């Protein structure tokens, strides 16, 4: 019965597309119960002159699968890294690439669930199916086929059915309407593949002769797809429709949100924060992926050094005061704050959060989404919270003097307040608050600690190599942490585990500045950031650079990545660096002696 319904759906799709006449449709429909699927296909292609690609599109809509142009997919030595070539040839399965935990394969017969199950068992990965022509799959798997280009995310997306414009039966008119099937599938596929590849942001960037799609994976932008100008306008309009933005407004930036669960049937429960901006060659779009299925990580998994973790855990247990996290967008501030709240979240305290947007939903937290259009800002939310008897308050970001003033007042009146600021390091946070008009004595009285952080790519465990650094490299790590030895280097060719990048995943580096008596005096005296940094380092604060070198020593990342993430500390801090390194070394030795 299921097969009969699919065959009917294929015929209806061909009729709707105008490839079959009413008479031809009725002729087949009257006899289809007596004909096999192969017989119907033979009738369609030989007698009614339906092309293989027209039939592929009709099948893809009936199966609710994306069609793929196999002739654009290239086979290389990594194609069969998860599936044996004999198995693929026997079952007409073409592996196309990997995206996160998924292996992407092309099949011509999705009804054969035995093959799909076998692929999952052999690869140990979830299976994402694309629909391809059997003849092209067989040709691609042929031993005589001498294609040696890499198969990756970009190759797969480039070969999707929405990119069949070179075929004579698919015209560029299919791209002109934002409600056309190819544009809908292209928009969905871009988001799906970015999600499966572990991306955090999607950039759609217009240029004079093409539109470029890039995805930020592990903090690095990667080119994924180029789109012809004929398609870019419709793609942008489609994304605006999904984000409920004004598609007629192209002169002003707009912000919106896509609830992607409404637009796909694969159970991908993500929201996207959408921002458009008018550029010289058209509108550009940046979409931040907010994965609602992702849970917070425990604090030890965030990359805190053992010393910093112990200090931070103690500080977040304080009954009142202000804890600030600083760093650029995408440095992991939100994840750290949520993890801290998750650790102190118990039934006997009330936690309120004001966020824009709400990135993670945690049990036991009362969360409020900001709505600037109606006047619901961080300052408004803070005022409301202070009348609702909270113990702990999280403010998504301190952006202005009003929010900063109310946050400091909340911290001074018996509340534990967490928030974020955009500053480069921990000491300059004091200067930033002062510039906002907060009196130094109020800062020193309310502040518990400032934690600056960055995210640094982890070197791939499967293909990394160790070497003894020399010259300037050796001097940099010796000056930072008083250590020298073998450090990891990434493989330029990579491996299937890391997708050829040499890096996989990210780890946090932190600069934790806790207040002390000497630091409070410096803040009250309105000392500049350089003086505050020296005092904090004398009290044992490890700088971002020192913590990044510590991660290199532990084999988590490379010197190249560490120096690209945070530059070395200036020579003028050499004395304080030595003190901080000695303090950390002494504490480590004491711990080892106790054990």
Mean pLDDT of the chain: 82
The number of beta carbons lying within 10 Å of the beta carbon of residue 67 is 26
List the structure tokens of 159. Answer: 């070969």
Residue 419 pLDDT exceeds 80: yes
Please report which confidence band the pLDDT of residue 145 belongs to, taking 50, 70 and 90 as the band edges: low
Decide if 552 contacts 485 (C-beta within 8 A). Answer: no
Report how far residue 287's alpha carbon sits from residue 230's, in angstroms, rounded to the nearest whole number.
22
Residue 29 pLDDT exceeds 90: no
The number of beta carbons lying within 10 Å of the beta carbon of residue 304 is 24
State how far the alpha carbon of 260 is from the alpha carbons of 102, 320, 438, in Å.
Answer: 19, 39, 41
Residues in the chain: 595
| Whole-model pTM over 0.85 | no
Per-residue pLDDT tens over the stretch 481-527: 888 889 999 888 888 778 778 898 899 999 999 999 999 999 999 99
Residue tagged 């995805």 (tokens): 215
pLDDT at 173: 46
List the structure tokens of 416. Answer: 């534990």
Residues 260-289, mean pLDDT to the nearest whole number: 88
The number of beta carbons lying within 10 Å of the beta carbon of residue 427 is 27
Decide if 238 contacts 231 (C-beta within 8 A). Answer: no
Report the SS3 class of residue 453.
strand
Q: How far is CA 387 from the centre of its chain?
A: 37
Least confident of 171-180, 285-294, 525-534: 171-180
Report how far residue 336's alpha carbon sits from residue 525's, in angstroms, rounded to the nearest whole number.
31
pLDDT at 168: 36
What is the greatest pairwise CA distance in the chain? 93
97: nearest Cα among 108, 85, 82: 82
CATH architecture assigned to 69-149: 2-Layer Sandwich (3.30)
Report the SS3 class of residue 226.
strand
Which CATH number applies to 153-165+179-290? Answer: 3.30.450.90
Decide if 552 contacts 453 (C-beta within 8 A). Answer: no
- Which ranges of 17-124 does DSSP label H, i.e. alpha helix? 22-31, 37-42, 52-63, 85-91, 113-123
CA angle 483, 469, 458 (to 5 degrees): 85
Q: 21: burial class by Cβ within 10 Å (0-12, 13-18, 19+)?
A: exposed
List the structure tokens of 205. Answer: 């960037």
List the structure tokens of 509. Answer: 């580096």
Report how far residue 487's alpha carbon sits from residue 495's, in angstroms, rounded to the nearest whole number.
19
Residue 147 pLDDT exceeds 50: no
Please report which confidence band the pLDDT of residue 160 belongs to, taking 50, 70 and 90 as the band edges: low
Report how far residue 517's alpha carbon sits from residue 497's, in angstroms, rounded to the nearest whole number.
49
The CATH class that applies to domain 299-578 reads: alpha beta
pLDDT at 515: 95
Report how far residue 536's alpha carbon sits from residue 569's, in angstroms, rounded to the nearest whole number.
14
Q: What is the DSSP string of 111-154?
A: T-HHHHHHHHHHHSSEEEEEE--HHHHHHHH-TT----PPP-HH
316: nearest Cα among 292, 345, 290: 345
Per-residue pLDDT tens over the stretch 336-363: 999 999 999 998 999 999 988 777 778 8
pLDDT at 1: 41
Report how far residue 394's alpha carbon sits from residue 373's, in angstroms, rounded to the nearest whole number.
21
Q: What is the DSSP string of 300-353?
A: GGGT--HHHHHHHHHHTT-SSEEEEEE-STTSSHHHHHHHHHHHH--TTS-EEE
List the structure tokens of 474. Answer: 């050796």
Per-residue pLDDT tens over the stretch 192-205: 888 888 889 999 99
Residue tagged 């990044």 (tokens): 548
- Cis amide prior to 357 (ω within 30 degrees): yes
């Amino acid at each position: 019965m299921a097969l009969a319904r699919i065959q009917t759906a294929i015929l209806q799709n061909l009729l709707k597309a105008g490839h079959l006449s009413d008479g031809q449709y009725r002729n087949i429909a009257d006899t289809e119960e007596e004909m096999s699927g192969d017989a119907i296909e033979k009738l369609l292609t030989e007698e009614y002159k339906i092309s293989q690609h027209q039939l592929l599109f009709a099948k893809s809509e009936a199966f609710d699968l994306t069609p793929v142009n196999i002739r654009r997919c290239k086979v290389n030595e990594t194609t069969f890294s998860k599936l044996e070539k004999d198995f693929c040839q026997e079952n007409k399965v073409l592996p196309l690439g990997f995206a996160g935990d998924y292996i992407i394969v092309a099949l011509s017969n999705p009804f054969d669930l035995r093959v799909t199950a076998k692929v999952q068992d052999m690869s140990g990965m979830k299976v994402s199916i694309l629909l391809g022509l059997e003849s092209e799959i067989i040709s691609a798997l042929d031993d005589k086929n001498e294609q040696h280009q890499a198969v990756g995310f970009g190759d797969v997306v480039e070969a999707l059915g929405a990119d069949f414009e070179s075929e004579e039966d698919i015209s560029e008119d299919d791209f002109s309407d934002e409600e056309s099937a190819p544009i809908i599938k292209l928009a969905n596929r871009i988001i799906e593949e970015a999600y499966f590849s572990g991306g955090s942001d999607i950039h759609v960037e217009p240029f004079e002769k093409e539109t470029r799609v890039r995805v930020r994976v592990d903090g690095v932008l990667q080119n994924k797809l180029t789109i012809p100008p004929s398609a870019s306008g419709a793609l942008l309009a489609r994304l605006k429709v999904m984000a409920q933005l004004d598609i007629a407004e192209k002169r002003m930036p707009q912000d919106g949100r896509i609830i992607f669960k409404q637009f796909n049937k694969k159970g991908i429960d993500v929201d996207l924060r959408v921002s458009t901006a008018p550029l010289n060659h058209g509108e550009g779009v940046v979409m931040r992926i907010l994965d609602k299925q992702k849970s917070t990580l425990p604090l030890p998994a965030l990359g805190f050094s053992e010393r910093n973790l112990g200090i931070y855990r103690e500080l977040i247990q304080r009954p009142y005061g202000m804890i600030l996290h600083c760093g650029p967008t995408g440095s992991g501030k939100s994840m750290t704050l949520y993890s801290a709240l998750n650790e102190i979240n118990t039934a006997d305290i009330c936690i309120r959060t004001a966020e824009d947007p709400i990135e993670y939903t945690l049990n036991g937290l009362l969360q409020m989404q900001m709505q600037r259009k109606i006047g619901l800002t961080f300052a408004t939310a803070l005022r409301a919270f202070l009348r609702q008897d909270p113990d702990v308050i999280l403010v998504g970001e301190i952006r202005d003097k009003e929010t900063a003033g109310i946050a400091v007042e909340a911290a001074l009146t018996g509340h534990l307040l967490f928030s974020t600021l955009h500053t480069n390091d921990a000491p300059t946070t004091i200067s930033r608050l002062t510039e906002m008009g907060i009196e130094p004595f109020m800062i020193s009285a309310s502040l518990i600690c400032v934690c600056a952080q960055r995210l640094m790519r982890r070197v791939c465990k499967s293909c990394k190599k160790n070497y003894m650094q020399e010259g300037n490299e050796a001097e940099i790590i010796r000056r930072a942490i008083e250590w020298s030895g073998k450090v990891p280097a990434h493989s330029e060719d990579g491996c299937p585990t890391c997708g050829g990048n040499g890096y996989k995943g990210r780890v946090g580096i932190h600069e934790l500045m806790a207040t002390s008596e000497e630091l409070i005096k410096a803040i009250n005296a309105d000392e500049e950031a350089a003086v505050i940094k020296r005092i904090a380092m004398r009290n044992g604060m490890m700088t971002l650079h020192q913590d990044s070198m510590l991660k290199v020593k532990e084999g988590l990342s490379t010197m190249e990545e560490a120096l690209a993430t945070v530059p070395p500390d200036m020579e003028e801090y050499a004395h304080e660096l030595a003190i901080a390194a000695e303090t950390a070394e002494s504490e480590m030795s004491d711990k080892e002696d106790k054990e």
